[in-house]
Amino acid sequence: MYIADEKRYDKMIYTRCGNSGLMLPAVSLGLWHNFGDTGVYSNMEEMCFTAFDNGITHFDLANNYGPKPGAAESNFGKIMKEHMMPYRDEMIISTKAGYDMWAGPYGNWGSRKYLIASLDQSLKRMGLDYVDIFYHHRMDPGTPLEETMGALASIVNSGKALYVGLSNYDGPTLEKATKILDELHVPFIINQNKYNIFDRTIEKNGLKKTANKLGKGIICFSPLAQGMLTDRYLNGIPADSRVMTDGRFLKESNLDSDTVAKITAINELAKGRGQTLAEMALAWILKDGLVTSVLIGASKPSQILDNIKATENINFSDDEIAEIDRICAM
């Protein structure tokens, strides 16, 4: 029987999510990888236990996380039922809908039909009455924004989600969505977007600045650039790396000589700070207080413990920030 570490809340920083009352851990666990049917269930259990024992209260899923789509929610639901349901009120559980999930015209994008049906399916897979945060997973150019936001309002009013979020939105669309959700009195509190030292899209498209102006939180996925911002690829590509075993997200072409040179240079800066490259990359995202939480992925419990160390030093000098920017511009 799983019993959580009594000192778990002493091991994590918690930050208010925008102007809301909800506090999120600086590091959250994403179940995008390694929780599908190809994963080892006992390892999934240990990763969830390790995360929660170290103050990670937030577990982030989506309807299509797998493989196969839905598998991550099903496996997480089994872990909840067998071990963690006594701690449900101490957990923030989020899921999403917006990408292709099932066949036909009603299993994708942002219609009212799809979002409400998808969440009903997600709740069944996880064995939950509600999720804490439900996201629309991507902007939908074919559905009126009013319809998508109205669906989120209905979901909150039905009690199936406590808060809502938007994922992969840009700054201008975020402003329009916020206005609609405010008029509908929907507790929209958070944006989820890709962000890391190499990928500054949310700075370029205005999302980071706009979210702060509107009092919304930001949680970032791919903070380690699919593993590139770790020491894993400093000396070539390991045989068991994601590049070799799963080319869906990180490809060998991503690791050209220029990129490896940048990784090496950033790694030297991390050493000077007394951090690993991964620790510094996560700390860099949290440095200015505008990002509420970083979403880490893990294939084993030890990676979770390593990533949590990033919270021990999230302060950067102006010279360090300038040097990172200089290296990225090489």
User: How do the domains of the chain map onto residue ranges?
Assistant: 15-227+288-315
Quote the pLDDT of residue 208. Answer: 96
Q: Which two tokens stand for residue 106?
A: 């009603």
Quote the pLDDT of residue 231. Answer: 87
Dist. CA 245–CA 241, nearest whole Å? 6
Quote the pLDDT of residue 258. Answer: 86
Residues 32, 297 contacting (CB under 8 angstroms): yes
Quote the pLDDT of residue 190. Answer: 98
Quote the pLDDT of residue 68. Answer: 96
Quote the pLDDT of residue 250. Answer: 54
Give, for 81, the enclosing helix (H) or strand (E): none
In CATH terms, the superfamily for domain 15-227+288-315 is NADP-dependent oxidoreductase domain (3.20.20.100)
Q: Which residues contact 143 (CB under 8 A, 6 or more apart)?
A: 109, 110, 111
Dist. CA 304–CA 50, nearest whole Å? 7
- Residue for token digits 């809908």? 97
Residues of the chain with pLDDT under 70: 236-255
This prediction's pTM: 0.94
Quote the pLDDT of residue 123. Answer: 98
Burial class (CB in 10 A: 0-12, 13-18, 19+), 6: exposed
CA-based torsion, 64, 65, 71, 77: positive or negative: negative
Furthest C-alpha separation in the chain: 54
CA distances for 247 relative to 100, 130, 226, 254, angstroms: 19, 34, 11, 11
From the list 305, 208, 207, the residue with the least C-alpha distance to 5 is: 305
Residues 324, 283 contacting (CB under 8 angstroms): no
* b/e sequence 43-74, b meaning 16+ C-beta within 10 Å: ebbebbbbbbbbbbbbbbbbbbbbeebbbbbb
Quote the pLDDT of residue 210. Answer: 96
**Phi and psi angles of residue 30, each rounded to the nearest 5 degrees, phi first:** -95, 140
Quote the pLDDT of residue 245. Answer: 47
Give the angle subtended at the CA of 109 by the CAs of 104 and 114, to the nearest 5°: 65
CA distances for 22 relative to 57, 58, 90, 292, angstroms: 12, 11, 12, 11
Residues in the chain: 330
